[in-house]
Structures are given as structure tokens and as C-alpha cells.
């Protein structure tokens, strides 16, 4: 399914900017509240950062933690529901272990999970001093993003391929705008506090793995193993303020080696592809309403490495802000 660059638009109550997971989720929340919604994006599917993401529930590089936690919890509940009731959405429940070189206190979001527990050191791979286990949800974006687009269209939303030069132009088209443009908000708003965190991932054939692993302390960026239905996403890098989306072949062996330390079966796995995405980071997630000449804008961007993790919680909060103004 492809987005239609529609030239004859129906009457619109809300214009949502951004065709990634934030924009589509927000559009769907607004449609379910009875609003007429048009989504406008420079690109959908493969043209979005969401498409490159390993996309599993894990609050990463999204701040402040106290503000982020309720949004993450709301998304967790929605993904749990989708995994149970909508297998066609591409959301899978996965046992997850995060490891550390030494004891680490539980993260702020641990109390929100039903099965968070510490893992005995003897049960961890060699060289790690601590770990914890919890249930996460893997979101296969090649399946999930088209599913979200179908949900938006089925609810009466319009998907349009269009890039606005600035928010004033968008407000001339519709006086109620939701800005879910991620890294693009830097120029669109403009917001100079937004910056890229480059992430390179390697996709390999799945040798039979089903557990997610996370290690933020092994050097070279965050290490993670994310098994999907036909492949495994191995990460990765976290290169601040770097925006070259060309994969660096020199980084690939190191990514695989770090992941193989956690799952030795990955050492000889067949490489399917290597990709780069740019996480839209900011000192704090921006979720607020701004009055501008010509209308109002609700900003919903700056999710860092937690775009999928915060998607439903932030979408509901953004919709609430707009609907109660």
C-alpha cells in the first residue's frame, strides 16, 4: 500500500505532520476521537527513521525519565494488547535480558512492568556482573508501519505526501496542527535543540533466537539483539550529531562481535543487510501546545531512541492536548 498524494482533500479538522510511528499513532488517536485527519509527510515506510529502528519496547535516550515513564507505560499496554489480539500488526512478546558489568539499580520504569526481576550472575554470559529480565515487545516495522497506515485509512484518515516549508504554511492549510516531524522539527519549527544520534544496525538471518539482549556498557554504542520473525537486528552505534546515513563497513564486524558475546550463535550468521537511522534526540521530549498566529500547534517530537516505546503514550497525550484546547 502506498500513500496517495491526494490533490482533492476532504475537509480536515487536524493536520498531522510526519509519517513515522509518532505521526501515524497520533493520527489514529485523533480519528478514533471523531476528528477528520490528514497526515502530511515527506515520506512513508522506508523513507522514515521508524523503518530502520530495531523497534522494541525499551526507554532509551528519552528525557526526563519521570515525564517519559507514563508514556512508556501506556505504549507497553497497547503493544501487549496488539500482541494478543492483532497478530497481523507484527508485534511480538519477547523475553528480554539487560546486562551490566556490575550491580545496577532497577531503572525508573521497572515498577511499571509485571515481571521485572534480577538475574543471578551465574546465569549471565561470561564477563557480566549483573542483569535483569523483563518482558518487552518487538515491533517489526516492515509489518507494523503498513498496518498503521491501513488503520488510519480505514478510520477515514487521509495520507498525503507533502513537505511543508514551515509551520506557518501548515497552519494556512489547517488551523490545528500536530507536529510529529522528528529530526525535521529542527528546521520546520525551527528548534535548534534537536540533534541526530546516528545508529547503524546489522540484520542477519535468525539462527533460532527468540530472546532480546541489551548491553549499554560494552563500548561502541548500545549493543542489542532483537529477534524478529525472519531475521535478527543487531545493534548498534550511538554517534551524536553525525548524520551520514551511509553504512560504515568498518563498524559492522564490531557490532556482530559484541552481539556474539551475548549470543555465540550470531558469530557466523549470514548478513542480510546493514542500515543506518538517525534518532531524533533532544534534551527533553517536546510534548506541548503552542499558540501561533493562524492557529495552534501541538508538538510531539524529540523521542530520542524511544520513538516506538513512547509512540502510543505520546500520541494519546498529544491528542488530549489538542482536543481539550
Nearest in space to 115 (alpha carbons), one of 102, 106, 127 = 106
SS (H, E, C) 251-320: CHHHHHHHHHHHCHHHHHCCEEEEEEEEEEECCCCEEEEEEECCEEEEEEECCCCCHHHHHHHHHHHHHH
Instruction: Give the domains, in start order, of the chain with CATH numbers.
Output: 14-323 (3.40.50.720)
Terminal alpha carbon distance of the chain: 34
Sign of the C-alpha dihedral computed for residues 90, 96, 98 and 103 taken in this order: positive
From first to last of its 325 residues, the chain has per-residue pLDDT tens of 444 444 434 579 999 999 999 999 999 999 999 999 999 999 999 878 888 889 999 999 999 988 999 999 999 999 999 999 999 999 999 999 999 999 999 998 999 999 999 999 999 999 999 999 999 999 999 999 999 999 999 999 999 999 999 999 999 999 999 999 999 999 999 999 999 999 999 999 999 999 999 999 977 689 999 999 999 999 999 999 999 999 999 999 999 999 999 999 999 899 999 999 999 999 999 999 999 999 999 999 999 999 999 999 999 999 999 999 7
Pair type for strands 91-100 and 14-17:
unpaired
User: CA 306, CA 127: separation in Å to the nearest integer?
Assistant: 28
pTM for the structure as a whole:
0.94
Amino acid at each position: 500500500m502506498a500513500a496517495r498524494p491526494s490533490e482533492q482533500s476532504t475537509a480536515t479538522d487536524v493536520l498531522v505532520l510526519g509519517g513515522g510511528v509518532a505521526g501515524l499513532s497520533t493520527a489514529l488517536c485523533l480519528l478514533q476521537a471523531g476528528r477528520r485527519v490528514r497526515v502530511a509527510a515527506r515520506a512513508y515506510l522506508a523513507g522514515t527513521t521508524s523503518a530502520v529502528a530495531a523497534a522494541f519496547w525499551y526507554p532509551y535516550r528519552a528525557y526526563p525519565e519521570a515525564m517519559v515513564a507514563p508514556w512508556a507505560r501506556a505504549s507497553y499496554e497497547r503493544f501487549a494488547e496488539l500482541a494478543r489480539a492483532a497478530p497481523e500488526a507484527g508485534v511480538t512478546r519477547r523475553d528480554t535480558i539487560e546486562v551490566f558489568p556490575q550491580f545496577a539499580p532497577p531503572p525508573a520504569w521497572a515498577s511499571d512492568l509485571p515481571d521485572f526481576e534480577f538475574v543471578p550472575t551465574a546465569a549471565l554470559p561470561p564477563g557480566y556482573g549483573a542483569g535483569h529480565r523483563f518482558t518487552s515487545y518487538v515491533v517489526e516495522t516492515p509489518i507494523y508501519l503498513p498496518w498503521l497506515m491501513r488503520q488510519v485509512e480505514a478510520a477515514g484518515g487521509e495520507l498525503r505526501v507533502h513537505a511543508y516549508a514551515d509551520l506557518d504554511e501548515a497552519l494556512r492549510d489547517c488551523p490545528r496542527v500536530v507536529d510529529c516531524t522528528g529530526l525535521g522539527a529542527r528546521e520546520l519549527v525551527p528548534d535548534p535543540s534537536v540533534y541526530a544520534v546516528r545508529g547503524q544496525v546489522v540484520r542477519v538471518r535468525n539462527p533460532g533466537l527468540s530472546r532480546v539482549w541489551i548491553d549499554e556498557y560494552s563500548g561502541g554504542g548500545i549493543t542489542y539483539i532483537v529477534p524478529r520473525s525472519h531475521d535478527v537486528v543487531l545493534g548498534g552505534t550511538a554517534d551524536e550529531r553525525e548524520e551520514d546515513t551511509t553504512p560504515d563497513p568498518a563498524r559492522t564486524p564490531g557490532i556482530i562481535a559484541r552481539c556474539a558475546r551475548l549470543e555465540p550463535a550470531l558469530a557466523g550468521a549470514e548478513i542480510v543487510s546493514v542500515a543506518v537511522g538517525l534518532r531524533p534526540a533532544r534534551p527533553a521530549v517536546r510534548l506541548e501546545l503552542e499558540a501561533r498566529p493562524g492557529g495552534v500547534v501541538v508538538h510531539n517530537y524529540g523521542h530520542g531512541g524511544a520513538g516506538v516505546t513512547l509512540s502510543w503514550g505520546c500520541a494519546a497525550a498529544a491528542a488530549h492536548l489538542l482536543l481539550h484546547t
